[in-house]
């Protein structure tokens, strides 16, 4: 994607011209990229064990750290976790941006389609209902393994994914999709409540633990599925960036400007669902990043142009996920906060601030 920067000669012409430059300023990009790099390295160096920066960089470069434990901590635990946070933050930011534009609603988030509700249902069925149904066949311990959780969540998300995409191709109005997502949420909520009601406390605790979210659960083996899924989703989102700008004016205008609205809607829904489904399956339902990051990017770059917002959301979403995860570990402390506590506690004030600020200058 070309993020055309104004050339030196053009810039001076702009001063005399009444027409503002379109696109993005270079310093902002460099700042964002620097932020991502800094957050990434920091998340490898900081934590319960503090590892010197040069040791981290040496390990990353393929060298040998001066302590074997450091080597193990960086390569086995922190590196997959940092990559997971980076990708998940980017994915949720992108899916949130897509949903906010598709539904023309500033409060839309990646979860409005109901994909993550499907994932929750999958996990609930396995953790809570699994014992009753299949304890005799498999035995519960095998079922509660990490990959089992991911499989259950992925199956649940995939089931809803198929439903949503089938319907997205047929519905006249995008509002139908919104209502569909909402109803899926209620339905899965009902089933989950029912399962909780008949479960023993240990099972409920295991389920609740999943809903807290975590970037730490993705092993290198799982990364082979997680990373490609998210990279495909992000590429699809970037490839579908053009109709989003036209959709800002509503579907009628978009159609009049040559957008195949149904195809665009399907593409956006499919890529957002893939991103949300994969993140929820591997990390649990991570709250607020999806709704907060697009708002932050609009405010930071003062634009609605998705050609700017999409890469900005990828970078800032990844950086914020890394920073939030660092805060969750509270370097030096003996325990780790659930990631959703941090994203919600910091995300909610951000969304509030943006909405209130927007109200103050919106003129009706």
Partner 1 sequence: MNMFWSRHSHRPEHARPSGAALDQAAGSSSVPAALKARDLTVGYRQGTRTRVVNRGLNLCLRRGTLAALLGPNGAGKSTLMRTLAGLQPPLAGEVWLDGRPMRALSANELARNLAVVLTDRVDAGYMSAYALAALGRYPYTSWDGRLSAEDEAIIQEAMRAARCESLAARMASELSDGERQRVMLARALAQQTPIILLDEPTAFLDLPRRIEIMHLLRDLAHNTGRAFLISTHDLELALRFADELWLMAADGAFSVGAPDEVSARGDLLRAFAAEGDEVQRYLQGIHR
Q: Can you give the binding site for partner 1, defined by CB under 8 A?
A: 1-2, 4, 18-20, 22, 104, 239, 241-242, 245-246, 248-250, 252-253, 255-260, 298-299, 302-305, 307, 358, 361-363
What is the closest distance, in whole angstroms, from the C-beta atom of residue 343 to partner 1 in the complex?
24
Least distance to partner 1, CB of residue 168, Å: 18
Q: Give the position of tokens 């479960």.
A: 199
Residues 58 and 169: their CA atoms lie apart, in Å, by 50
Of 215, 222, 206, 207, nearest in space to 339 by CA: 215
Residue 273 burial (CB count, 10 A): 27
**4/72 with CB nearer partner 1:** 4
> Nearer to partner 1 by C-beta: 244 or 278?
244
Nearer to partner 1, 167 or 239 (CB): 239
In the complex with partner 1, the residue whose CB is nearer, 16 or 142, is 16
Give the nearer residue to partner 1 in terms of CB position, either 38 or 249.
249
Largest CA distance in the chain: 79
Q: How many CB atoms lie within 10 A of CB 329?
A: 19
Residue 172 in tokens: 């006249």
257: tokens are: 């400007």
Least separation in angstroms between CB 21 and partner 1 = 9
If the CB atoms of residues 200 and 364 are measured against partner 1, the closer one turns out to be 364
Nearer to partner 1, 136 or 359 (CB): 359
CB of 319 to partner 1, least distance (A): 21
Residue 50 φ then ψ, to 5°: -90, 125
Among residues 310, 303, 294, which one has the least CA distance to residue 347? 294
Residue 304 CA from chain centroid, whole number: 20
- Closest CB 238 distance from partner 1, rounded Å: 8
Q: Tell me whether residue 182 is exposed, middle or buried, using C-beta atoms within 10 angstroms of its C-beta: 0 to 12, 13 to 18, 19 or more.
A: middle
Q: What do you get for the CA distance between the two ends of the chain, in Å?
A: 35
* CB 361 to partner 1: min, Å: 8
CB 176, min distance to partner 1, A: 14
Nearer residue to partner 1 within complex by CB, 246 or 342: 246
CA distance 300 to 294: 10
Q: Give the integer Cα–Cα distance in Å for 238 and 144.
A: 36
Contact 70, 51 (CB under 8 A): yes
Smallest separation, CB 323 to partner 1 (Å):
24
Spatial separation of the C-alpha atoms in residues 164 and 183, rounded to whole Å? 12
């Amino acid at each position: 994607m070309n993020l055309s920067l104004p050339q030196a000669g053009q810039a001076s012409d702009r001063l005399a011209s009444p027409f503002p430059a379109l696109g993005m300023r270079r310093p902002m990009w460099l700042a964002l990229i620097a932020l991502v790099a800094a957050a990434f390295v920091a998340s490898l160096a900081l934590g319960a064990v503090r590892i010197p920066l040069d040791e981290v960089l040496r390990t990353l470069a393929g060298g040998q750290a001066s302590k074997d434990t450091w080597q193990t901590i960086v390569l086995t635990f922190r590196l997959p976790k940092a990559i997971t946070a980076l990708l998940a933050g980017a994915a949720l930011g992108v899916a949130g941006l897509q949903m906010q534009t598709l539904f023309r609603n500033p409060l839309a988030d990646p979860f409005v389609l109901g994909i993550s509700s499907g994932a929750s249902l999958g996990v609930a069925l396995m953790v809570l209902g699994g014992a009753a149904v299949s304890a005799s066949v498999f035995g519960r311990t095998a079922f509660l393994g990490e990959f089992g959780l991911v499989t259950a969540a992925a199956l649940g998300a995939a089931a809803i994914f198929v439903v949503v995409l089938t319907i997205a191709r047929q519905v006249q109005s995008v509002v139908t999709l919104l209502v569909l997502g909402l109803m899926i949420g209620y339905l899965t909520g009902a089933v989950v409540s029912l399962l909780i009601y008949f479960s023993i406390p240990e099972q409920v605790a295991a389920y609740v633990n999943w809903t807290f979210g975590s970037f730490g659960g993705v092993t290198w083996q799982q990364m082979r599925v997680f990373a490609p899924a998210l990279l495909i989703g992000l590429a699809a989102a970037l490839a579908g960036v053009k109709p989003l700008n036209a959709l800002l004016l509503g579907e009628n205008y978009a159609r009049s400007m040559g957008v195949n609205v149904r195809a665009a809607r399907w593409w956006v829904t499919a890529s957002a669902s893939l991103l949300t489904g994969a993140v929820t399956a591997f990390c649990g339902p991570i709250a607020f990043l999806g709704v907060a990051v697009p708002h932050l990017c609009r405010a930071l770059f003062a634009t609605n142009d998705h050609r700017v917002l999409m890469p900005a959301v990828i970078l800032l979403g990844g950086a914020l996920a890394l920073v939030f995860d660092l805060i969750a570990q509270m370097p030096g402390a003996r325990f780790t906060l659930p990631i959703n506590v941090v994203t919600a506690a910091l995300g909610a004030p951000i969304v509030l601030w943006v909405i209130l600020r927007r109200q103050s200058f919106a003129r009706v």
